[in-house]
Amino acid sequence: MANSKHQTIDKGMIKYKGRCSFLQYMKDKPTKWGIKAFLHCNEDGYLQQFKIYLGKQVEPGVNGVYFDIVNELTECLWGKNHVVFMDNLYTSVPLFLHLLNKKTCMWYIEGQQKVSPTRHQKEKSCRLTTMW
Which residue, 17, 46, 19, is CA-closest to 34? 17
Identify the pLDDT of residue 65. Answer: 85
Which residue, 66, 62, 75, is CA-closest to 104? 75
pTM for the whole thing?
A: 0.73
Query: Beta partners for 11?
Result: 38
Rounded CA gap, 132 and 124, in Å? 19
Identify the pLDDT of residue 103. Answer: 82
Tell me which amino acid residue 17 is: K
| Cβ(58)–Cβ(65) below 8 Å | no
How many structural domains are present in the chain?
1
Per-residue pLDDT of the chain (132 residues; tens, 9 = 90+): 546 888 889 888 899 888 888 888 888 888 889 999 999 998 888 899 999 988 887 777 788 888 888 888 988 888 888 888 888 888 788 888 888 888 877 776 655 555 444 444 444 433 434 444
| Cβ(77)–Cβ(40) below 8 Å | no
Question: By residue range, what is the domain housing residue 69?
Answer: 6-131
Identify the pLDDT of residue 115. Answer: 46
User: Does residue 72 fall inside a structural domain?
Assistant: yes
Rounded CA gap, 46 and 61, in Å? 29
User: Does residue 1 fall inside a structural domain?
Assistant: no
